[in-house]
């Protein structure tokens, strides 16, 4: 078992990472001073797979558990579903001290976190991430949100969990590729030795070797926690977590989300590496290293057949754009990035054309 601490004063919390962690949930909650009722929010399929283990662990420490089910899909991250959950929480006699556990991927985590942040002006929230993406990224840092119309993740809050429980065993039933893109991202932005570890172990990781997966989640969680501890509300350093996401978000939206988040970020990481290379910052050898690891992880590196004018338009209208300047996170070498508002649009277009 490994532990990562997110340091945010009196809102600090731990991320517990390891095999068999679901069995420890009751004890971990008790250690934080919780007792009485607890609520689990999850998808029906995840309830069948892992809900029983989690419920049993809580019941063994005398918690009275209610389980609320949410169908699968990004469309459930909505005010409508949040509204239904508020009613079900009331029916389950949830009080201001009742912890709400999100058992699922990023959809369950973001939705449940939003509900926990707002119900009774905030009830204790616990993340139990089950996808690799959720374990390495979305469960840490307190960004919670729902979508509304075309506004993705724009109705939300910063609301930190009290605890994150990342059980490596649950990763055996889920696709890992999207999460691997984010793990590679941490290597490029801040952790060269982790990048090398990924290069040496990518085949073991894809074969779901438990020790290797534990290392991937631990090293990723540690980097995310360090960044969040320094910049909780995304005013400075946290921007480096957007490496690959400037182009990635545009690819996702122009493809009408036909291309998954991790795939889009992979394409975006390669595009940003090439831009940095053309600006004389990143060496040819480092571009090749980044590209090769992404390919070996099973992720795409080429831009799909999307209209370049639409991609440029989407980037200029991203929520991260300041005064019309597209912001890029550019690697200088593996393990170090700079943030640049000074990338020439024609250079971006040129890299897109080459990538096709």
Judged by the rule CB under 6 A, the positions of this chain that interact with ligand NAD are 43, 45-46, 49, 72, 74, 77, 104-108, 110, 130-131, 133-134, 137-138, 141, 143, 153, 170, 173-174, 178
In the complex, what is the shortest distance from the CB of residue 144 to ligand NAD, in angstroms, rounded to a whole number? Answer: 6
Torsion of CA 102, 108, 114, 120, to 10 degrees: -40
Residue with the closest Cβ to ligand NAD? 106
In the complex, what is the shortest distance from the CB of residue 154 to ligand NAD, in angstroms, rounded to a whole number? Answer: 11
Token pair for 85: 């959950």
The 3-class secondary structure across 58-113, one letter per residue, is HHCCCCEEEEEECCCCHHHCEHHHHHHHHHHHHHCCCCCCCCEEEEECHHHHHHHH
Angle at 153 between CA 257 and CA 105, to 5 degrees: 70
Residue closer to ligand NAD, measured from CB, 112 or 276: 112
Residue closer to ligand NAD, measured from CB, 221 or 351: 221
Residue closer to ligand NAD, measured from CB, 26 or 105: 105
Residue closer to ligand NAD, measured from CB, 58 or 170: 170
In the complex, what is the shortest distance from the CB of residue 350 to ligand NAD, in angstroms, rounded to a whole number? Answer: 29
In the complex, what is the shortest distance from the CB of residue 181 to ligand NAD, in angstroms, rounded to a whole number? Answer: 10
In the complex, what is the shortest distance from the CB of residue 104 to ligand NAD, in angstroms, rounded to a whole number? Answer: 6
In the complex, what is the shortest distance from the CB of residue 335 to ligand NAD, in angstroms, rounded to a whole number? Answer: 22
Spatial CA neighbour of 138 closest among 146, 124, 152, 127: 127
Residue closer to ligand NAD, measured from CB, 12 or 173: 173
Torsion of CA 283, 287, 289, 292, to 10 degrees: -160
Residue closer to ligand NAD, measured from CB, 123 or 145: 145
In the complex, what is the shortest distance from the CB of residue 43 to ligand NAD, in angstroms, rounded to a whole number? Answer: 5
In the complex, what is the shortest distance from the CB of residue 302 to ligand NAD, in angstroms, rounded to a whole number? Answer: 22
Spatial CA neighbour of 47 closest among 29, 61, 67: 67
Burial class (CB in 10 A: 0-12, 13-18, 19+), 234: middle
Residue closer to ligand NAD, measured from CB, 49 or 237: 49
In the complex, what is the shortest distance from the CB of residue 183 to ligand NAD, in angstroms, rounded to a whole number? Answer: 13
- Cα–Cα distance, 154 to 235 (Å, whole number): 16
Residue closer to ligand NAD, measured from CB, 56 or 169: 169
Residue closer to ligand NAD, measured from CB, 25 or 348: 25
Residue 89's region, left for phi above 0, alpha for psi from -120 to 50, else beta, is alpha
Token pair for 74: 């990004």
Token pair for 154: 């724009």
In the complex, what is the shortest distance from the CB of residue 42 to ligand NAD, in angstroms, rounded to a whole number? Answer: 9
Token pair for 237: 């350093």
- Cα–Cα distance, 50 to 53 (Å, whole number): 5
Read off the DSSP letter of residue 169.
G
Q: Where are the alpha helices (DSSP H) in the chain?
A: 25-31, 44-46, 52-59, 79-91, 106-118, 132-133, 177-190, 192-206, 210-230, 245-254, 261-278, 284-296, 308-316, 345-355
Q: Which residues pair with 16 in a beta bridge?
A: 3, 165
Residue closer to ligand NAD, measured from CB, 146 or 343: 146
What residue has token string 């501890």? 229
């Amino acid at each position: 078992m490994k532990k990562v601490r997110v340091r945010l004063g009196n809102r600090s919390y731990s991320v517990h990472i390891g095999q068999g962690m679901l069995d420890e949930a009751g004890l971990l909650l008790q250690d934080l001073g919780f007792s009485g009722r607890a609520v689990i929010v999850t998808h029906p399929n995840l309830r069948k797979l892992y809900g029983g283990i989690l419920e049993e662990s809580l019941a063994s420490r005398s918690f009275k558990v209610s389980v609320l089910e949410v169908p699968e899909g990004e469309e459930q991250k909505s005010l409508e579903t949040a509204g239904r959950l508020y009613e079900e929480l009331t029916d389950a006699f949830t009080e201001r001290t009742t912890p709400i556990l999100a058992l699922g991927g990023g959809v369950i985590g973001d939705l449940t976190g939003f509900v926990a942040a707002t119900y009774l002006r905030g009830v204790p929230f616990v993340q139990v991430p089950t996808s690799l993406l959720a374990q390495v990224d979305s469960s840490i840092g307190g960004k919670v949100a729902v979508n509304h119309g075309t506004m993705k993740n724009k109705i939300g809050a910063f609301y930190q969990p009290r605890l994150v429980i990342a059980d490596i065993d649950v990763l055996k039933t889920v696709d890992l590729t999207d999460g691997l893109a984010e793990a590679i991202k941490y290597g490029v932005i801040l952790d060269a030795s982790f990048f090398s570890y990924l290069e040496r172990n990518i085949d073991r990781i894809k074969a779901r070797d438990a020790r290797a997966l534990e290392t991937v989640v631990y090293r990723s969680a540690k980097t995310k926690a360090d960044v969040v501890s320094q910049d909780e509300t995304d005013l400075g350093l946290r921007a480096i977590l957007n490496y690959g996401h400037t182009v990635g978000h545009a690819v996702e939206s122009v493809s009408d989300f036909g291309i998954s988040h991790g795939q889009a970020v992979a394409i975006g990481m390669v595009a940003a590496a090439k831009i940095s290379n053309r600006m004389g910052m990143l060496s040819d050898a480092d571009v090749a290293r980044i590209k090769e690891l992404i390919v070996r992880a099973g992720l795409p590196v080429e831009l799909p057949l999307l209209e370049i004018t639409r991609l440029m338009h989407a980037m200029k209208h991203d929520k991260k754009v300041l005064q019309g300047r597209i912001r890029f996170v550019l690697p200088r070498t593996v393990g170090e990035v700079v943030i640049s508002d000074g990338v020439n649009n024609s250079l971006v277009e040129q890299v897109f054309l080459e990538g096709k």
